[in-house]
Structure 1
Amino acid sequence: MRAVFKATLIALALALLPAQVVAAAPQAQSDSASELSSVGAAKLPEPKPNQAKRPTARGVGAAEDSCARVRARIDVLKAEGAQTVACVTSAPARKPSAPSISPSSFSAEDDREALPLPPWCYESSNGDGTWYYNRFQACSIATNLVNVIDVKSGATVGQIFYQTNEYVYTNDELANWGHQVTIRLVTQWGETAGTTVQGDAICNGTCTLSVGHIDFPSQPLSQSNPPFGEAFPETTATATGAVGEAKSVMYWQFKNPKWAKQPDLVGSQVAVPIRCDNDTKGVSTVGCVFKDYEPVNVVSRNGLYPKYAKHISEAQASGLPGAYPDGQPLTRQTDSAEATKNRSTACPQASKGGYTRPAGYSCDEYPFASTHEGAANNPTLGRSFSWCQISQLSSRTGPGWSACMIPATENTAAGRDDLRPFYNKNRVLEKDKFYVWIVD
């Protein structure tokens, strides 16, 4: 049976696969993901994944060199009496297509069932091994060949054309992550019948991986039931205030009793580090993310916070940072005293020479007080807009900050039910970069 953490990880990964929506009304403990903002049941656009080059796994020769090494030793192999040998090499990239499998057919209780890749992985990949990732998921599709070589003649007498579908997924409330590789057979011919594949896994960095959390048994190569392996490393950055990074590696090897020499072990390491921490402000659990992805908080003008969204949109348009995808990112500030300085600079109380709050309204500042770009960094560069009811500030462009009066209940809810859960869900630590995307 699956361990509890394994079943939980897979259930959460499955929940990420369909188009994400938020159906719940605003509440203090929101489940808003980095790509979402509370907006009733409406679907919001999803930011694009980042990409990273395919790395070479530690301790494993690059697959591209395997067949070259075999041919360089062909005379030695002849002398040893070998008849056929096999090797792995890269193949011309082939645009992958998603298998006709519905995510709804998968269950976290299935003991052996490979998770499907996110749709954006197939859309992004050209089959060249490039990694694509967001804050919680990473995937790669690579195209390779197993060549079977007749030692006496040097001719290729068999070939397996296959793609590896890799999927790494984290969770903001768990100390483990999943790393899966599926071997998808495209074509095979010649001396390849009876081939099996099996594998192993390791993790490098602030992590541990027990034998019991690796599952890659020997399986027959098959188009109808693709073999796969998975591993569930665990961070060791669990003490209060701890932050650690790690990368996991999956290995696999093809075997066939007819081959005198089996192909080399092939390995693939996730291209971007997984950061796990017990240092996210306001969160008491350990969780993990892909730190190189700068999360995006999506807020709709037609959602629960229209004036909040309007203010941010106009502030960004005036030259302030944070706009996705072309603006400069914001930077998280976790020091409460500094946040208070930012808030007091942008929104001083009338009793202290600041702004009178109209009945039912409160002062909203942008960039957020919880960022290093907040108002205290440029105290003289404030601005506002004609509808914002702050006569002490005029319009301007360029660096600085903005203040605006918006409905008090909306202002409070946006911070409590949107921005704070966004920070928590995405484990946005001190000096982490992030964006705010205002959409219709």
Structure 2
Amino acid sequence: MLLGVLALPAQAADAPAAPGQATSLKPGDAYVISDPELIANPQKITDILERDGDLDALGIKPTSGPSAQPGQQAKDASGRSYTVPSQRFPRGRKPADQEQYIDGVAECAGNDASSNDGGWIKNRYSYCQRHLIAIPAIDCGLWPPGCYNKGWFISRNTMIGQGKIGGWIGSDQWRYAEFDLDVDVWANTGDFNKSGATMKAELECEGTWAEGSGSAEDACDNGVYEGRTDSPSDWNRDGKTKFDLVSIAPKSPGAAAGEQIANGDFRPKYTFQIPGYGQFLPTDGEEGKLRFDSAWYMNSKLGSVFSDTTPALRYDVSDTSDPTAPGEAYHGVSAAASHIADARANPDSTLPPKDGKQLPGAEPTDPLHRLPGEASDAHRSRIDDNRSVVSAYCRSGEVPGGPGQGLDCDEYPFASTYEGAARFMYDGAQYERNYSVRYIDATENQEAGRRLNAWYNNDRILDKDAFVIATGD
């Protein structure tokens, strides 16, 4: 979870000393723990705090407050990627469950990526992050001299985010996302049980416009669910609350208005107040990232996605056509998957020949980029150029198999990408012949294209968005 914490006591010399040793912690120190083993066993944190007054024995330093040390939380880029099997889009159909949201705390907890600072992005619409937080109440005084731990609040916090397809409450300008927070209180001791002690949970978002238009406030702001303020004991009885984030586009969707992309960096914050203790400004944690758009050329014109990821669509070699399938023949993509896998594994063997050919799209560091023909005449013209270059070469007689007999000339990278066969006409001669063609089964070639287009729309792959094509067995 991304977090800011404030839990800071004033000096109180007349308070009784807490059990255990004097602590090296300072007022305001707090821990955000992302180790999956400790998240699964909070009692270990409780035992060490009770024995030592700090977590030095575990090699853990505060992540916020006066004693904070940078670099305490591991960053893991693997939490920012996901792959969708193309079988979700048979015949290019929209799946019944478009978003495939994370199904509660148990599913989030079952993926270790949820504990890294990037969180787990299951797909473009489904995000979660999970941390253990430990906030000690530190009392420093002249007698007895030193600082003492006067109680602690420990909880496992899980935040699950849902990107949305469509506008907020039916609007054609408001885009939105929703979040569920689950605070699983493990320990609530000492001064955190004082009458009047509270914890406030909220979600803040800093928004910017991709093109510099609109106001930052409108780019990403709170909606109707703004979190909750309650006593630690009440959080223990019921740890649930909701947030939503909204973004208002200046205009209704349309080609003249553009995509109206707004980006939001969001972070949950927790504010603790204890009677008799002072208060300090909260500390910011790591950020999650949202993108709101009004892409008029998509099937659903408004939406929001978790953008800190490179999406991938997977074609499987084992996904073969079955003309005997009950109801209607099943169309697979095995031939297209084999072409892509072979071409990227051995580009020097592909047609047309080219020395040193490199074919992109296998890794997030070398992705493809979508070229949507529906966006403008210029986009459509470039797609037509990609196809014309491929058609001319396929008709040259240099490609084995030839047209007809149920075969299509398949190309990779796709015509619907900026890396397509005509890239050299736009970006320079170095890209000439930087593609691969092969005659493959026409049914499977066309099925691969239908699935690709359905995925573009379902996962909101916009103009110039980076993506990967994976291949499986």
Normalised-by-shorter TM-score class: 0.5 to 0.7
Structure-to-structure mapping, 1:252-263, within 5 angstroms:
252-256=270-274, 259-261=275-277
2:304 aligned to which of 268, 271, 288: 288
Matched position secondary structure for 1:148:
strand
Q: Which whole-Å CA distance do the structure 1 matches of 2:409 and 2:433 have between them?
A: 20
Alignment map for 1:27-426 (pairs within 5 Å) = 63=5, 67=8, 70=9, 74=11, 87=28, 89-90=30-31, 93-95=34-36, 96-97=39-40, 115-116=104-105, 118-119=107-108, 122-126=111-115, 129=117, 131-133=119-121, 134-150=123-139, 152=141, 153=144, 154-174=147-167, 175-193=175-193, 196-205=198-207, 206-209=218-221, 212-218=224-230, 220-221=232-233, 225-237=237-249, 239-240=253-254, 241=258, 242-256=260-274, 259-261=275-277, 264=280, 266=282, 271-279=287-295, 281-303=297-319, 304-319=332-347, 320-325=358-363, 328-334=366-372, 335-348=379-392, 356-377=402-423, 400-416=434-450, 418-426=451-459
AA aligned to 2:119 is W
List gaps (5 residues or longer) in structure 1: 1-53, 100-113, 380-397
Equivalent residues of 1:121, 1:140 under 8 A apart: no
Secondary structure of residue in 1 paired with 2:338: helix
1:434 offset after TM fit, Å? Answer: 0.7
TM-score (norm 1): 0.65
Query: SS in structure 1 opposite 2:418?
Result: coil
Q: Determine if contact 1:117/1:167 at 8 Å carries over to the other structure.
A: no
Q: Give the 3-state SS of the residue equivalent to 1:315 in structure 2.
A: helix
Conserved? CA contact 1:82–1:260, under 8 Å: no
Q: Judge conservation of contact 1:198–1:252 (CA < 8 Å) in 2.
A: yes
Deviation at 1:226, TM superposition (A): 4.9
The answer to whether the 8 A contact 1:248-1:269 is kept is no
Shift of 1:120: 6.7
Q: Could you list the per-position Cα deviations for residues 358-398 of structure 1 after superposition, in whole angstroms to 9, with x for gaps in the alignment?
A: 2222211100011121112359xxxxxxxxxxxxxxxxxx9
Q: State the secondary structure of the residue aligned to 1:285.
A: coil
Secondary structure of the equivalent of 1:333? coil
Q: Residues 253 and 264 of structure 1 are in contact (CA less than 8 Å); yes or no, is this contact kept in structure 2?
A: no
CA RMSD in angstroms comes to: 3.8
**Aligned equivalents of 2:370 and 2:293: distance in 1?**
16
**1:108 matched to which residue of 2?**
none
Summarize the Cα distance change of 1:375–1:307 in structure 2 as closer, same or farther, 3 Å threshold.
same
1:280–1:429 contact (8 Å) kept in structure 2? no
SS in 1 for 2:40: coil
Distance 1:66 1:255 in 2: 6
Asked if the contact 1:160/1:187 (under 8 Å) is kept, the reply is yes
Tell me the distance in 1 between the aligned counterparts of 2:41 and 2:413. 41
The structural deviation recorded for 1:326 is: 7.3
Match of 1:37 in 2: none
Structure 2 regions of 5+ residues with no counterpart?
18-25, 43-102, 168-174, 208-217, 320-331, 348-357, 373-378, 426-431
Is residue 135–residue 154 contact of structure 2 (8 Å, CA) maintained in 1? yes
State the TM-score, normalized to the length of structure 2.
Answer: 0.61
Aligned to 1:111: none
User: In the aligned structure 1, how far is the partner of 2:442 from the partner of 2:468?
Assistant: 24
Q: CA deviation at 1:400?
A: 1.6
d(CA) in 2 for partners of 1:429, 1:308: 23
Identity of aligned residues (%): 21
C-alpha separation in 1, matches of 2:300 and 2:111: 36
Instruction: Return the letter of the residue paired with 1:185.
Output: V
Matching residue's letter, 1:218:
D
Once residues 203 and 264 of structure 2 are traced to their aligned partners in structure 1, the CA distance between those partners, rounded to angstroms, is: 13
Q: Shift in Å at residue 262 of structure 1? A: 6.2
Which residue pairs with 2:79 in the alignment?
none
State how far apart, in whole Å, the 1-side matches of 2:308 and 2:453 are. Answer: 20
Residue 297 of structure 1, CA deviation: 0.2
Say if 2:108 and 2:114, in contact at 8 Å, map to a contact too.
Answer: no
Structure with bigger helix share is: 2
